[in-house]
Amino acid sequence: MSNEELMLAAIDAAIENVHKGGGPFGAVIAKGGEIISVGVNRVTPNNDPTAHAEVCAIRTACLKLGTFNLSGCEIFTSCEPCPMCLGAIYWARLDKIYYGCNKIDAAVAGFDDSFIYKEFELEKAHRSKKMVELLPVDAMRAFDVWRKNETRVEY
């Protein structure tokens, strides 16, 4: 399939999802022009705020390919990824992102992506979500145990 056909598949998934009670977002993960997975926004029907289209597509693709590393794959998403999904795309090592609408379009449609992007640009102390450091020395113990564990799987 061409890049345009893959994007249209993501858009069609988004539209179909609205009719099924989900949000207006769809994403396709492809490798060499073949669809590996399709994800849609199921936040409200599934009571899962992390169930954005891109995250769902990544989870399904990883399950299907039996790996946590999707390098060699690309993602086609009907809307520019929010910070959560962009982070997920980095962790999944996807090669490239194709997006349809942008975060401004999403804001006009009533979704908070732009607000969250703006929060990310602020220093911790100036964000609306308060972040407090607590027991940092104790917390380092987890990394100590990790470094000493010779069977650890790094990624």
* Footprint of its own copies on 91-110 (CB under 8 A): 91-102, 105-106, 108-110
Q: Does 73 bind its own copies (CB under 8 A)?
A: no
Per CB under 8 A, 114 contacts its own copies:
no
Q: How far apart are CA 22 and CA 56, in angstroms?
A: 13
Q: How far is CA 87 from the centre of its chain?
A: 6
Q: Which of 4, 5, 34, 54 is catalytic?
A: 54
Binds its own copies by CB under 8 A, chosen from 32, 34, 49, 126: 49
Q: Does 123 bind its own copies (CB under 8 A)?
A: no
Q: Say which residues have a Cβ less than 8 Å from residue 79's Cβ, sequence separation at least 6.
A: 14, 24, 25, 53, 99, 100, 101, 102, 103, 105, 106, 113
33 binds its own copies (CB under 8 A): no
Size of the site for its own copies (CB under 8 A): 91
Q: How far is the CB of 85 from its own copies (least distance, A)?
A: 7
Rule CB under 8 A: say whether 126 interacts with its own copies.
no
The one-letter amino acid at 66: G
9 touches its own copies by CB under 8 A: no
Please pick, from the candidates 27, 30, 73, 89, the single residue that binds its own copies as defined by CB under 8 A: 89
Which residue reads 């946590």 in tokens?
68
Closest CA to 80 of 107, 55, 104, 103: 103
- Among 1, 8, 31, 114, which residue sits at the site for its own copies (rule: CB under 8 A)? 8
Exactly one of 63, 71, 122, 123 binds its own copies (CB under 8 A); that residue is: 63
Instruction: Give the SS3 label for residue 137.
Output: helix
> Among positive and negative, which fits the CA dihedral 56, 61, 62, 68?
negative
Q: For residue 123, indicate whether it is catalytic.
A: no
Active site residues: 54
